[in-house]
């Protein structure tokens, strides 16, 4: 499965798609990038004079690149099609270390902790443009094919 095929299968679209490029996907993890557009609506109200990316959005970016892209890759044998994918994040534990500003490009790297019984758990790290750790943590979710596919 190519990186473009994985991106095509993501169940998101703008403005809630937080993956620009998928750089690497293996059985053990994934790596990708996203640039936070200065015009994203949440910046207008998240700290009036000095906007930063909300932690929930950083977590979502980590989950999309580090969990969902990897999960699609791991389930590739099931011949997934976009309407057939059901994904639900079940937990996250994140630590935020540096702010991510509007216009900033981040890189997310994930490492699979386990994938069993359709539950995937990953360790994720997000780096800013200066290669400094912006946030880290664990995310997990359930991935399966829809019975209605």
Residues 98-147 pLDDT 10s: 999 999 999 999 999 999 988 999 999 999 999 999 999 999 998 776 66
Minimal CA–CA distance to 14: which of 38, 40, 32, 33? Answer: 40
CA gap 72, 96 in Å, rounded: 26
| Average pLDDT, integer, range 65-77 | 88
Q: Give me the active site residues, please.
A: 46
Q: Which residues contact 112 (CB under 8 A, 6 or more apart)?
A: 27, 28, 29, 70, 74, 120, 121, 122
Query: What domain range includes position 134?
Result: 3-145
| Average pLDDT, integer, range 63-91 | 76
Number of domains in the chain: 1
Res 109: pLDDT? 98
Res 48: pLDDT? 77
Res 148: pLDDT? 55
Q: What is the pTM of this model?
A: 0.90
How would you classify the pairing of strands 85-96 and 29-35? unpaired
State the pLDDT confidence band at 77, using cuts at 50, 70 and 90: low
Domain CATH code at residue 106? 3.10.129.10
Dihedral sign from CA coordinates of 125, 108, 56, 142: negative
State the pLDDT confidence band at 11, using cuts at 50, 70 and 90: confident
> What share of the chain has pLDDT > 70, as a percent?
89
**Bridge partners of 109?**
31, 125
| Average pLDDT, integer, range 65-82 | 78
| Average pLDDT, integer, range 37-60 | 89
| Average pLDDT, integer, range 76-92 | 64
Minimal CA–CA distance to 108: which of 135, 73, 77? Answer: 135
């Amino acid at each position: 499965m190519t990186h473009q095929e994985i991106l095509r299968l993501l169940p998101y679209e703008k403005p809630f798609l937080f993956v620009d490029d998928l750089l690497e996907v293996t059985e053990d993890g994934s790596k990708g990038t996203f640039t936070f557009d200065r015009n994203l609506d949440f910046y207008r109200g998240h700290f009036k004079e000095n906007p930063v990316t909300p932690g929930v959005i950083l977590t979502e970016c980590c989950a999309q690149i580090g969990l969902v892209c990897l999960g699609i890759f791991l389930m590739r044998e099931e011949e997934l099609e976009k309407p057939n994918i059901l994904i639900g994040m079940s937990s996250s534990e994140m630590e935020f270390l540096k702010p991510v500003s509007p216009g900033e490009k981040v890189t997310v790297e994930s490492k699979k902790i386990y994938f069993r019984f359709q539950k995937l758990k990953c360790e994720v790290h997000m780096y800013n443009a200066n290669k400094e750790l912006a946030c880290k943590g664990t995310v997990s979710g359930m991935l399966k094919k829809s019975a209605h596919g």
